[in-house]
Amino acid sequence: AQNLSNYFWIIKSKTVFLVEQLTELISQREIHPVQAAKQYIQQNYGKTITLSEVAEKLNFSSVYFGNMFKKHTGKTFNAYLTDVRMEQAKQLLKRQEYTISEIAGMVGYQDIKYFSKTFKNIYGVKPSEYKKLLSSLHIKDLHI
């Protein structure tokens, strides 16, 4: 009876260990694709990017991957993409060497009105107002 009890304890211990390893592998499988998607967005934000396209590249359904992406980033795929694009637009506006239309195209927007509306929704000012504000601050040597 003692040997049987020890045998069951060993089986239980090994089963718990295997379940923990499997859980870790599943978690890593979810995190890695999200990291890959974020990297892909950082490298391609100026192009047309869709959730379906990225999910397909990573061998997931778009619904499953969209849920996974939101679970790990706290944002939908499109919200994350928009944030990356708007942050890049903000950096380009600081450089003063591009027009608003050029910047819109550089960060993946073909419609300048939609770009301006999105920028204003996020930052509270139109890109042209932001650019003018930065220009006036540079003139005063505040260099932000």
Mean pLDDT of 67-92: 96
Alpha-helical (H) ranges within the chain are 2-44, 51-57, 62-73, 77-95, 100-106, 112-123, 127-139
More confident of the two residues 28 and 22: 22
Mean pLDDT of 97-112: 96
Per-residue confidence (pLDDT) for residue 5, from 0 to 100: 82
Rg (CA), the chain: 24
Per-residue confidence (pLDDT) for residue 144, from 0 to 100: 47
pLDDT tens-digit readout, 30-72: 568 999 999 999 999 999 999 999 999 999 999 999 999 999 9
**pTM for this entry:** 0.73
